[in-house]
Amino acid sequence: MSAPAPTRGTADAPLSAASWAALVVEAAEECTDVLEAGADGDWSRPAGDLDWSCHATLDHLALGLVGYAGLLTARPTDRYVALFASLDPAAPVSARLEGIRIAAALLAATVRGAGPGDRAWHPWGHSDGPGFAAMGVVETVVHTYDIARGLGLDWTPPDGLCAPALRRLFPDAPAGHPAGRTLLWCTGRDVLPGQPRRQEWQWDGSVR
């Protein structure tokens, strides 16, 4: 029998660090499962509305996940860390996607190992382990959406992945809409009824 899935918490009962780490891994698995379907596509095409190609966007995602693990490990107070990661441009898409799973596993392990009082710098709010996990989930799902659009794949981020990240990083997000679409609106990628598309956005990683 498989182990029970970690609870995803409620507004009154936040997720544990272990549950946040599991969400990071789940987001990476969802990302790679989706993008494997487009492995034979043209990865030089723009990723959605971004200026980056699909390949460059995937590379940015790997850099971000490892970078968050680095920040949470070194815990600087005023800067990024010096260690980042990039994907081998000559590797096949399947190997690059494997790199995303590796990067997510590194971030998840760092979140699990961080103490509740650990804090690290981020330009959008100094944060803790759950905060950096939430950033990793957001980066993963929104850039999977971008790349999927560039490859002609029909995919929307799952509500179950997005709802905890919304609560943690976008506390003022409009209510009454599916969490996946709301996260896309919060990150300037979609419209919601009565809400124009955002032209500028950022999350709030501050510990609350």
Per-residue pLDDT of the chain (208 residues; tens, 9 = 90+): 333 344 454 455 689 999 999 999 999 999 999 999 999 999 999 999 999 999 999 999 999 999 999 999 999 999 999 998 899 999 999 999 999 999 999 999 999 999 999 999 999 999 999 999 999 999 999 999 999 999 999 999 999 999 999 999 999 999 999 999 999 999 999 999 989 999 999 999 999 8
Q: Which domain holds residue 39?
A: 17-186
Cα separations (Å) of 78 from 72, 118, 120, 125, 126? 13, 15, 8, 11, 9
Kindly state whether residue 72 falls inside one of the protein's structural domains. Answer: yes
| CA 156, 184, 143, 28 torsion-angle sign | negative
66: domain CATH number is 1.20.120
Tell me the C-alpha distance between 65 and 43, whole Å: 20
Kindly state whether residue 205 falls inside one of the protein's structural domains. Answer: no
Kindly state whether residue 208 falls inside one of the protein's structural domains. Answer: no
Kindly state whether residue 36 falls inside one of the protein's structural domains. Answer: yes
Cβ atoms of 160 and 9 closer than 8 Å: no
Q: Residue 47: CB partners within 8 Å, gap ≥ 6?
A: 53, 54, 56, 57, 143, 146, 147, 149, 150
Kindly state whether residue 167 falls inside one of the protein's structural domains. Answer: yes
Kindly state whether residue 9 falls inside one of the protein's structural domains. Answer: no
Kindly state whether residue 174 falls inside one of the protein's structural domains. Answer: yes
Cβ atoms of 133 and 125 closer than 8 Å: no
Domains: count for the chain: 1
